[in-house]
Structure 1
Amino acid sequence: MSNDTTLVLGATGNTGRRIAARLRLRGTRVRAASRSSRTPFDWFRPDGWDQVLRGVTTAYVVPPPVPGPAHEFVARAAAAGVRRLVLLSGRGADDWGDSAFGLDMRSAEDAVRGSALEWTVLRSSNFDQNFDGPPFRAPLAAGELALPAGAVPEPFIDLEDVADVAATVLSEPGRHAGRIYELTGPRALTWAEAVELISRAAGLPILYRRVSPAEYTATLVGEGWNEEEARHLAEMFVLLEGGVATRPTDGVATVLGRAPRSFEDFVVRAAAAGAWSR
């Protein structure tokens, strides 16, 4: 076992908890940090960052929800002796143009890529697991998913693949320095096609309906979402409809030497676990 410590931010979240478990199995010393963990970390409480960073050599970073804080965090990490950063970002971030979506991720990329530390960026497509968890599980279980997405496909990726890639990159210093990996599933599906596969595997009538971004935003706000967060999610669909992230990539295969898991594989596992049961 190495004496180096790897910090995993967002350690109770979708990627962080999976990555931390994989690193521990590899014999890596992990410091799991989140707002609710034994090692607390909050992007809006920088007074606690130095303690979290003490003794850390490598850090997995999930961007803060707003632009800006990542720049100070990276500076603090460098001052604390951190040598490597692995950042989770969004697929095709260089092509987002003047979209209002993803300013938080682009700010974090600027901070990480502009630093003197060894860095790697993992840009992920939308997760398969968004369908059996927030925000799409509940409407699917109710029988209809309504989104502002049309015929432009998305190469959804399994979170297990994202975690496998991240754990591998974090465990191989030097090999992935200065690399940006675009991570997708093996093929692109429209959102309607994804819902059809879920319906068939679950044995339940589930429909897909296209709505306008304004209607989707209003629906989310009616469900209790903060209006800014609702607009941000709707803006993601507007961006995706421009076709900036439709083609599958070889990022998973480049890092892991194997093809990514299929959406069908995810659907079978989720349906067997009763993800959409009523």
Structure 2
Amino acid sequence: MTQTEDTTPAQSPTRASSPVLVTGGTGKTGRRVVARLRELGVETRAASRSGGTRFDWESPDTWGPALEGAEAVYIVPLDTEPSPTPAFVERAVAAGVRRLVLLSARGVDVPGYFGDSVLDGGPHLKGEQAVRDSGLAWTILRPGWFAQNFSEGVFLDGVRAGELALPVGDGRAAYVDAEDIAAVAVAALTEDGHDGEVYELSGPRALGVTDVLDEIAKVAGGTPASYVPVEEAAFRDGLVAQGMPAVEAELWTAALDPIRTSREAPLKDGVHRALGRSPRDVAEVFRDAAAEGAWG
């Protein structure tokens, strides 16, 4: 996708006069959102089961104290059924929150995006509907697969071990930088002009897993880790053999299907629309990760 540079003047941030609550405040995007907000001088509550503000999706008694007096909330939802997000949004409205920014996921509004109906109409879509119906100012973020999954997430152990086995064939994905997701979230939380927007977020180019591993090798040194394609059934059975519940293993396998089918390959313009710049490439993301010792 070809993008043109935005030549309009940058908007001045509208700082929240009350705290911004960040759920999942110690997670991949949450901790980055917290850091960026605090750099801007915005009073921020990092909420999680182990964070400065206690918050547990499975303990609704923690929601009220976390929400008290908050001006805006970044919602990192619990991806389970039944989804607790609608009930949390109701509590946010009752607490006087004025703005919600929801982390959703790419493809949640496309039937069959995840291969079959297993994830259609799931918790992300229900969360989106809840914030739309809340009566508050809202922004929805729909990122694809994170580039950081190779440096600090679910694929890291395989990369470090030298062999990454996945059921994605030759599929490609435009992996998105978690820092870009955080930057868009912070813009939506602190600036005017983002209300009612749904930002589809991707990186600037689509790569196969072998391409990604080559990019890591360029900055980490040594021989690239080997990519080993496996069948979906074998992958799912392997997860169960490692102790993962069968239902969760099925969901994980389905979540990878958009990479296998290259549904994650088309480039999206959400970063450019929100920030007026191009998204960061995985090469830059991995240079930073290598400098921090991600792969030893």
TM-score per shorter chain, which class?
A: over 0.9
Q: Which residue of 2 aligns with 1:147?
A: 166
Q: Which residue of 2 aligns with 1:168?
A: 187
Q: RMSD of aligned C-alpha atoms?
A: 1.8
Query: What is the identity, as a one-letter code, of the residue corresponding to 2:211?
Result: E
Q: Which residue of 1 aligns with 2:108?
A: 93
Tell me the alpha carbon deviations over residues 193-228 of structure 1, each in whole angstroms, 9 at most, x when there is no partner: 212222343322411011112211222233343333
Q: Which moved more, 1:89-98 or 1:255-264?
A: 89-98
Per the TM alignment, residue 2 of structure 1 is displaced from its structure 2 partner at its CA by 4.6
Q: Distance in 1 between matches of 2:48 and 2:172?
A: 33
Q: Which residue of 2 aligns with 1:51?
A: 65
Q: Distance in 2 between matches of 1:200 and 1:51?
A: 47
Q: Which moved more, 1:98-107 or 1:144-153?
A: 98-107
For the 8 Å contact 1:157–1:183, the answer to whether it is kept is yes
Tell me the alpha carbon deviations over residues 4-31 of structure 1, each in whole angstroms, 9 at most, x when there is no partner: 2111000011111110111111111111
Judging changes above 3 Å, is the alpha-carbon distance between structure 1 residues 23 and 205 closer, same or farther for their aligned structure 2 residues? closer
Q: Which residue of 2 aligns with 1:196?
A: 214
Q: Distance in 2 between matches of 1:272 and 1:237?
A: 28
Q: TM-score, normalised by structure 2?
A: 0.87
For the 8 Å contact 1:59–1:84, the answer to whether it is kept is yes
Q: Distance in 2 between matches of 1:33 and 1:99?
A: 33
Match for 2:131 among 106, 112, 120?
112
| 1:61-80 aligned within 5 A | 61-67=75-81, 68-80=83-95
Query: What is the identity, as a one-letter code, of the residue corresponding to 1:178?
Result: G
For the 8 Å contact 1:96–1:244, the answer to whether it is kept is no
For the 8 Å contact 1:197–1:264, the answer to whether it is kept is yes
Q: Distance in 1 between matches of 2:219 and 2:127?
A: 38
Q: TM-score, normalised by structure 1?
A: 0.93
Judging changes above 3 Å, is the alpha-carbon distance between structure 1 residues 113 and 244 closer, same or farther for their aligned structure 2 residues? farther
Q: Which residue of 2 aligns with 1:134?
A: 153
For the 8 Å contact 1:8–1:59, the answer to whether it is kept is yes
Counterpart check, 1:227 vs 2:246: yes
Q: Distance in 1 between matches of 2:111 and 2:260?
A: 12
Judging changes above 3 Å, is the alpha-carbon distance between structure 1 residues 249 and 185 closer, same or farther for their aligned structure 2 residues? same
Q: Which moved more, 1:106-115 or 1:128-137?
A: 106-115
Q: Distance in 1 between matches of 2:41 and 2:52?
A: 20
Judging changes above 3 Å, is the alpha-carbon distance between structure 1 residues 157 and 41 closer, same or farther for their aligned structure 2 residues? same
Q: What is the total number of aligned residue pairs between the two structures?
A: 276
For the 8 Å contact 2:174–2:207, the answer to whether it is kept is yes
Q: Distance in 2 between matches of 1:199 and 1:5?
A: 42
Counterpart check, 1:40 vs 2:54: yes
Secondary structure of the 2:117 match is coil
